[in-house]
A and B are shown apart, each in its own frame.
Chain A
Amino acid sequence: MTLENPQSTARIGGRPIHPMLVPVPIVCFTATLLTDIAYWRTANMQWANMSAWFLDVGLIVAIFVVIAGLIDFFGDRRIRALRQVWVHGLGNGLALILSIWNAFVHTRDAYTSVVPTGLILSVLVVLILAVTVWNGWSMVYRHGVGVRPEPRP
């Protein structure tokens, strides 16, 4: 019986790139929801402006997250064999499409750049991320994806 974990292909110095970068869009899209709510409650444009920056930064970094993730996905058959990986990938793809849509909605001027469409999209994205991030943790902490195997005694 082998103890070897599914390995990451997109690595720097043995460290997988995907988990290094993935916090950026997660934080950005979650922050977008918070600043959208703040704008909805206050009509203070500062919050809507912050949402637009968060969304765009999140999307730019997400491009690299997707590339690294796809390289890992195609790089190791054992990764593709995990059921969580499919939920993780498809869910995040959907979250990304909704976020691109959301970024365009946020280019509108003033109230309707957020309420209601932008705010609804921000909520949906965070709900999807809650599932896919949970999945991602399962992949690393339960299935050891990208984790170096224990040195043999």
Chain B
Amino acid sequence: MSARRLALAGAALLALSACGPSPMDPRRQIGANPYLPPIHQYLVPPMHVAKVIGWGDAKPDVAPGLRIEALATGLHNPRSVYTLPNGDVLIVESGAPPTVVNRPKEIVMKWVEDRAHGPIVPGNRILLVREGPNGAAGPPTVFIDHLHSPFGVVLVGNDLYVADTDAVLRFPYQTGETQITAHGVKLCDLPGGPIDHHWTKSLTASPDGTKLYASVGSNSNITENGIGAELGRAAVWEIDRATGAHRLYATGLRNPNGLQFEPQTHVLWAVVNERDELGPDLVPDYMTSVKDGGFYGWPYSYFGHHLDPRVRPQRPDLVARAIVPDYALSSHVAPLGLVFDTGTNLPAAYHGGAFVGEHGSWDRSVMNGYKVVFIPFANGRPAGMAQDVVTGFLKSQNEVHGRPVALALDASGALLIADDVGNAVWRVTGPSS
């Protein structure tokens, strides 16, 4: 009975949402100059999530010249991966922190989100996998337990930093250790609950190791929780490693993730999830270099000076200096992972370019994302069209095997992909390894 009522409600919503424009070819929105259609504000946005069916014996498809195997399976919402200097791979299992309901809409949104993430209860811990000659030498073991919606990890010397959703913690680490039982020491608070809309905090360290960079996503789609909830958010924080003092390194980045230094120019890059509910092809998510003191538009404008009518009061002073992001990835692909190919495992064509993990859309009638793409780089800048590297996460428009999240390279230079609803970590290698 309740299933039938839900189906009826779903059908009614579909009928209403069918009033929107039909999605266009995402390739028109990839690159430095994406086509931006007029704004369309829905009566009911098309909420389209696929049923999670897991992988079974299947695995993702890879581009010619590549191979893929699971490094670990049977996980509990693995969202990010990190390789230690001795080759051990850390897998961060994590789920969204509890949140508050401010208005009736959020009850429906929560239901849709739960459906998109499958039935597995997420871990809040970090696992360790030791790699053998061909993948994992054994099953993952618990490395650090009892974390609070962790995401980013970075090692500087013997200090292992973990970005929980509400703090950066420091753990002591000795090479070869397989478990840390010491309690983390808080280096710095990060904006967390009670509202914690975009909760994944990615983390990296400056090349000289003196600073940490943490990404802090916005606390709303477009300020609907009030501008006061956005203090310190939609930003990249620079945190002094010695003192824990922080400053806002860049702002106006709605939900930045995948902080990485580009290997040739040592410039900080991020992938950013842009705003929803302006149409199936607005606003394109993007990859961008992150400039010190830069403002990238959110919430007042997108892709430079395109005003968002939903924000009051407006801030023409900020919009005037909004930076146009470097490279659009097309709309609602939800990029959450970024890594530059600095290894020798993968074919030479990938060397120096960027891999991006696209978690996939939930508010577009035709799915977008659900794959790992590659963007070639030349002289530290994107140079060419994005190419599909790992696909097959979507079985159909209504069934999904898995969803890629954060990326890393392992010690051999193979590409690692955290797959949160597929509950696996995938390892992509070149033909010779």
A interface, CB within 8 angstroms of B: 43-46, 48-49, 52-53, 56, 101, 104-105, 107-113
Instruction: Identify which of B123-131, B239-247, B306-314 touches chain A.
Output: B306-314
Cβ contact within 8 Å between B226 and A108? no
> Would you list the 9 A-B pairs with minimal beta carbon distance, nearest first?
A109-B224, A43-B312, A110-B310, A45-B226, A52-B103, A104-B43, A111-B312, A107-B105, A49-B103
A-B contact pairs, 29 of them (CB 8 A): A45-B223, A45-B224, A45-B225, A45-B226, A49-B102, A49-B103, A52-B103, A52-B104, A52-B105, A53-B104, A56-B104, A104-B44, A105-B43, A107-B44, A107-B104, A107-B105, A108-B277, A109-B220, A109-B223, A109-B310, A110-B220, A110-B222, A110-B223, A110-B310, A110-B311, A111-B311, A111-B312, A112-B309, A112-B310
Greatest chain B CB density within 10 A among A44, A48, A52, A110 is at A110
Q: How far is the CA of A29 from the CA of B217 in the complex (A)?
A: 35
Q: Which residues of B contact A112 (CB under 8 A)?
A: 41, 309-310
A44-B226 contact, Cβ under 8 Å, with A110-B312, A112-B310: yes
> Cβ of B178 < 8 Å from any Cβ of A?
no
Cβ contact within 8 Å between B220 and A46? no
Q: Type the 1/0 row for B286-309, where 1 means its CB is closer than 8 Å to any CB of A.
A: 000000000000000000000001
Cβ contact within 8 Å between B43 and A109? no
Q: Which residues of A contact B102 (CB under 8 A)?
A: 49
Cβ contact within 8 Å between B104 and A113? no
Main secondary structure of the interface of B (DSSP, over half): loop
Q: Which of B217-250 contact A (CB under 8 A)?
A: 220-226
Greatest chain A CB density within 10 A among B43, B225, B277, B312 is at B312
Nearest A residue to B275, CB-CB: A109
Q: Which residues of B contact A111 (CB under 8 A)?
A: 309-312
**Closest chain B CB from A124 CB (angstroms):** 17
> Cβ of B185 < 8 Å from any Cβ of A?
no
Q: Which residues of A contact B313 (CB under 8 A)?
A: 43
Q: How far is the CA of A43 from the CA of B310 in the complex (A)?
A: 10
Q: How far is the CA of A53 from the CA of B222 in the complex (A)?
A: 20
Q: How far is the CA of A23 from the CA of B43 in the complex (A)?
A: 28
Partner of B224 from A56, A104, A110 at Cβ < 8 Å: A110
Q: Which residues of A contact B310 (CB under 8 A)?
A: 108-113
Greatest chain B CB density within 10 A among A43, A49, A108 is at A108
> Cβ of B16 < 8 Å from any Cβ of A?
yes
Partner of A108 from B41, B104, B225 at Cβ < 8 Å: B41
Greatest chain A CB density within 10 A among B16, B277, B313 is at B277
Q: Which residues of B contact A110 (CB under 8 A)?
A: 220, 222-224, 310-312
Nearest A residue to B105, CB-CB: A107
Nearest B residue to A39, CB-CB: B312
Q: How far is the CA of A48 from the CA of B311 in the complex (A)?
A: 13
Greatest chain A CB density within 10 A among B104, B220, B225, B309 is at B104
Q: How far is the CA of A43 from the CA of B43 in the complex (A)?
A: 21
